Structure 1
């Protein structure tokens, strides 16, 4: 049996207590809860019917869902709804602003907690019952924006520590070559999935094969610099993180995108199901994490 936790992260709200941007609104315990949150599940695919076929098949990119909320503290509800509104205000004023995130966390007794997230907005609140004691019941309308996501554990590859050997060239050269190493990365899903990747410097134009696709960024990485790649649709990015661990630079234009999906050298190519062989010149470390996508949070957790 799992304990269900539901949280809304307001990306654009400023926490009045800490002064930091970003607020978590817990929706599964006093003073605010959305009961079982059943309506947050479910999904709908779009399609066009033909004579004996269906075309234009795609997951409904955004859908509305209603949830019944109970709150026993008016002040807490004021704080929550202003945080919800902060995300909507930000997106009204700036098309590139981030929406909020709805977080569903399963905490099984004696097991490992599992968390699924979806980009979301709370767009409507309709009070249905109000009492003098401070209780309000309302119907909340959430806008769910696309797929639910669950990041799997990072898989770390340290080639230098693993081999410790270099290839001895047949001719007399002042250097030898690090061998081209082969490892495997595992995607437990039944379909190709997006990923997160970190390439750690030093490295020059680091590139790596996952199966038949080559991922490369044309840049020189200094010691302790890192390239961070996010291939999740709607948030794709290629970032250079400086040696201080804090400074970031957008290097999207340095990533090789080839002819796009299926071209063989697309930086955001999803990783195939099962075990995929990865090969690269073993002169730098990297980390890879599969990001599972699902049309709704799993029922079997």
Structure 2
């Protein structure tokens, strides 16, 4: 088990960050974890360990570690590729400009790595808009990680959309055909309020076949665009697949007035239509701040974080199972 700790160093106000690798051991009655490695970042205020994914780059049968430090190098951001056998860094991918926050989100599928830079303005219509972008890399060993294209926000004429703030690969049936998709959150975009600064949020769903064959990724349009409905709801903050294969999308700031109660929408796997929604029984919880699908011997479903829930302690947070 890998655990990111991006705020390690807070006692010295340097926030270098680290990740911790635990080894699982199972008996007839329980599973327990023992500490195996602790790997620290090297950049002050880099928040190393913010996002972590794994992929076997050297084909030795063991997943290697890809970890981000989006605040490194004056917030340009970095993504570190680490050999799982030695815990040594083998390659570093870097953001281009200050405040890009390159590595704020990561996703891996097959031999492709997606890296979000939600405040990049490289693909915006005007300099300084910080509309966001997503780089797509082909993974072929530690020494051969190649940038193949960069995706941009379909609403690249707007400011601070945060395109690429969340990412997920999924295979879902579109029009009855299983399709490899890249799902990109843009939680500060205008959603159902075009040309009005409402920040409802947008989720962009790209067909990966179109992405990897494009000459210019900035011209690739989403196959499906799903729009947030609530004023300032941050729709698209997090995604997960449910046990039945449907897509869950969170809007943790949705609520009336200043009550950021939060909402999780469930969309059907075929053609991404609304079929259900989930919400908590208390206000101001930011229900849906994080999502994860879970499949264990005891539970098959959805785990929902509500980071400001007061059920246990004031703003102590809560975890819901659905």
Higher strand share: 1
Would you tell me which structure has more helix in proportion to its own residues? 1
TM-score normalised by length of structure 2:
0.27
- TM-score w.r.t. length of structure 1: 0.28
By relative contact order (CA 8 Å, sep 6+), the higher-ranking structure is 1
Larger Rg: 1
